[in-house]
A = this chain, B = another copy of it.
Amino acid sequence: MTSTISLNQVNLPAVAGLVAAIQAAPAKAHTKWSSDVRWTGAFQTEASVRNFDAIRSDEPATLGGSDTAPNPVEQLLSALGNCLAVGYAANATIAGIAIDELSISLEGDLDLHVFLGLAEGHAGFSAIRAVVDLQAGASDEAIADLHAKVAATSPVGHTLNAAVPLTISPR
């Protein structure tokens, strides 16, 4: 199975092991994820995930920030692209498709009126687009199946594309 393990450098046996574990005990699929954010002054913040270096955030000068890091909506688009890329890597590997190159351009439209208090309503992205540049040696049909599979299974994609219950409460 060495060739399977090394296709796209993906550790397919680890994924298969998780699948088997969940099939044996479905509750293992119920995962919780977390992040802890700390405000450091002005519009600058740090998000801590597990023991990794903090993810820093700021706003551009035009929005009143110090422009020292990507802002939260850019981080949201980044999370989407990162998630889609994992989906391509995983599903291509399962399908036996070698990926030569994969890049994804994300873009989102946002009307600042609500954020700035100039209107009420939807403050978020009104639309998000991901354009996928995939170079891989496979038939058009296999590539089309891959695109469909990724779109049907993306955790971040589905979170954005659905109205997810969000609770914001004081401690």
Residues of chain A having any CB pair with chain B under 8 Å: 8-12, 14-15, 18-19, 22-23, 26, 29-39, 41-43, 45, 47, 49-50, 52, 55, 57, 59, 61-66, 69-90, 94, 99, 101-118, 120, 122-134, 143, 147, 149-171
How many of these chains are in the complex? 2
Contact B106 A34 (CB under 8 A): yes
Contact B84 A75 (CB under 8 A): no
Residues in B with CB closer than 8 Å to A65 are 11, 86
Contact B109 A30 (CB under 8 A): yes
Q: Is the interface of A mostly helix, strand, loop or mixed?
A: mixed
Contact B110 A155 (CB under 8 A): yes
